[in-house]
């Protein structure tokens, strides 16, 4: 127990003692934490309790994915209004524990407290892979890659806010993206497993949309980037929405947050190799969207012009509290 670096470390003490304890391991310990509040990060008319639980854990796991870590243990603090129904809490836990089960994460501790507003605060602990993936490791000339289609989760919020019918065929795509985001754990671990450090660049997760997250990655790396609007991976549903709203589809793609895919940079040949991997397939596919530069600004080439990446004009849940 606890001797082989790749075995799953066992829980020595779980809920019921003063604290949880688990076996140590021989790679860095990775920890992330997130909190969501009723009325700020979720609205009852847009999402059920199971979706809130799923999305909170997905945000945590997405952070672990961006470090290349394997999820192991979670710690949950729940603040509940006295009139909150038990069924709501059950549904919340169903959503959270369902996703936890998919990745082998064990809920090992937590607390329930009374509160004037419902909130949930989750801390996840994971084990790093052979290498830690950082935001600051981009190198000039590397390609910029994203996983999955962009903008679908944001499109769900946009449609809801504008009162557009989300029971259309494409509404289903957005609803799924918003309610059941799939964190790119397998992809993150595949990136951390690459044999040569030179094979990888910077990595982060797409939590606030490309227009916010790509400049963050560039800032951390001390570099810039240029992306091609017509290379951004978008769903047919997003094309349809863009047409209905008379907006360029790339604007919806870069502004929508909470897709929870990965954004990373790497040499062109690494990207080519990764695209054929199962991890890439599970993550919804990989797309090279641009290149790291030593330019002055982070740019997008669209409609024949090079533009600054636009800041989001509509507020999605969570954008009020950018991380």
DSSP assignment of 62-86: HHHHHHTPEEEEEEEEEEE-TT--H
Q: What is the DSSP letter of 285?
A: -
Q: Is 17 in the site for a copy of itself (CB under 8 A)?
A: yes
Q: Which is nearer to a copy of itself, 170 or 260 (CB)?
A: 260
Q: Is 252 in the site for a copy of itself (CB under 8 A)?
A: no
| Order of strands across the sheet that contains 143-147 | 203-205, 262-266, 143-147, 286-293, 224-228, 299-302, 305-308
Q: Contacting a copy of itself (CB under 8 A), which of 205, 208, 251, 258?
A: 205
Q: Is 144 in the site for a copy of itself (CB under 8 A)?
A: no
Q: How far is the CB of 273 from a copy of itself (least distance, A)?
A: 23
Tokens of 46: 């847009």
Q: How far is the CB of 30 from a copy of itself (least distance, A)?
A: 5
Q: Contacting a copy of itself (CB under 8 A), which of 119, 174, 178, 182?
A: 119
Q: How far is the CB of 115 from a copy of itself (least distance, A)?
A: 4
Distances (CA, A) of 169 to 48, 56, 138, 201, 289: 21, 26, 39, 38, 27
Residues binding a copy of itself: what is the number (CB under 8 A)? 66
Integer Cα distance of 171 and 176 in angstroms = 9
Q: Is 89 in the site for a copy of itself (CB under 8 A)?
A: no
Q: Which is nearer to a copy of itself, 139 or 301 (CB)?
A: 139
Q: How far is the CB of 72 from a copy of itself (least distance, A)?
A: 9
Q: Contacting a copy of itself (CB under 8 A), which of 49, 66, 200, 286?
A: 66
Half-sphere exposure of 318 (CA within 13 A, CB side): 22
Q: Contacting a copy of itself (CB under 8 A), which of 7, 39, 101, 222?
A: 39
Integer Cα distance of 53 and 120 in angstroms = 9
Q: How far is the CB of 231 from a copy of itself (least distance, A)?
A: 24
């Amino acid at each position: 127990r606890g001797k082989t670096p790749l075995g799953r470390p066992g829980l020595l003490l779980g809920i019921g003692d003063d604290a949880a304890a688990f076996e140590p391991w021989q790679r860095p310990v990775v920890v992330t934490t997130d909190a969501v509040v009723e009325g700020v990060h979720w609205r009852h008319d847009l999402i059920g309790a199971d979706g809130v639980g799923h999305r909170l854990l997905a945000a945590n796991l997405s952070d672990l994915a961006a470090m290349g870590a394997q999820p192991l243990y979670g710690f949950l603090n729940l603040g509940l209004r006295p009139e909150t129904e038990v069924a709501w809490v059950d549904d919340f836990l169903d959503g959270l524990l369902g996703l936890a089960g998919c990745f082998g994460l064990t809920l090992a501790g937590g607390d329930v407290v009374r509160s004037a507003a419902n909130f949930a605060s989750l801390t996840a602990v994971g084990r790093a892979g052979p290498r830690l993936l950082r935001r600051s490791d981009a190198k000039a000339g590397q390609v910029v890659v994203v996983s999955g289609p962009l903008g679908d989760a944001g499109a769900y919020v946009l449609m809801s806010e504008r009162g557009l019918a989300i029971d259309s065929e494409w509404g289903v795509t957005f609803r799924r993206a918003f309610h059941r985001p799939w964190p790119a754990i397998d992809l993150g671990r595949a990136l951390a497993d690459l044999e040569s450090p030179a094979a990888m660049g910077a990595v982060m997760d797409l939590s606030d949309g490309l227009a916010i997250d790509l400049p963050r990655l560039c800032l951390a790396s001390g570099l810039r980037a240029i992306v091609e609007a017509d290379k951004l991976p978008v769903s047919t549903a997003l094309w349809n929405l863009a047409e209905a709203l008379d907006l360029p589809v790339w604007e919806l793609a870069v502004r929508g947050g909470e897709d929870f895919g990965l954004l990373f940079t790497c040499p062109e040949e690494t990207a080519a190799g990764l695209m054929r991997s199962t991890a890439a397939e599970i993550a919804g596919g990989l797309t090279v969207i641009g290149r790291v530069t030593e330019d002055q600004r982070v740019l997008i080439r669209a409609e024949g012009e090079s533009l600054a990446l636009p800041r989001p004009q509509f507020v999605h849940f969570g954008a009020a509290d950018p991380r």
